[in-house]
Amino acid sequence: MDARPGISRRNLLRGMARPAPFLPRPPGVSITSLGACTACGACVDACPQAILVLASDGVAIRPEAGECIFCGDCAASCPEPVFLPDRRMGHVMQISAECLVHAGIACMSCRDACPEQAIAMQPRIGAPFLPRIDTAACTGCGACSATCPAEAIPAVKRETEEREVEDA
Q: How far is CA 51 from CA 15, 44, 48, 59, 165, in A?
A: 35, 8, 8, 10, 20
User: Is 90-160 in the same CATH topology as 20-87?
Assistant: yes
Record the pTM: 0.80
Provide the pLDDT for residue 4: 45
- For the chain of 168 residues, list the mean pLDDT of each consecutive stretch of 10: 55 69 91 91 96 93 95 95 91 95 95 97 95 96 96 89 44
Q: How far is CA 23 from CA 19, 78, 112, 133, in A?
A: 12, 19, 25, 20
Task: Find out if CATH 3.30.70.20 is the number for domain 20-87.
Answer: yes
Domain boundaries defined on the chain = 20-87, 90-160
Provide the pLDDT for residue 31: 85
Question: Would you tell me which CATH number, out of the four given (3.30.70.3270, 1.20.1340.10, 2.40.50.180, 3.30.930.10), belongs to the domain 90-160?
Answer: 3.30.70.3270
Give the other-Cβ count within 10 Å of 159's Cβ. 8
Residue 166: which of 109, 106, 90 has the closest Cα? 90
Report the distance separating Cα 30 and Cα 122, nearest Å. Answer: 34
Provide the pLDDT for residue 64: 93
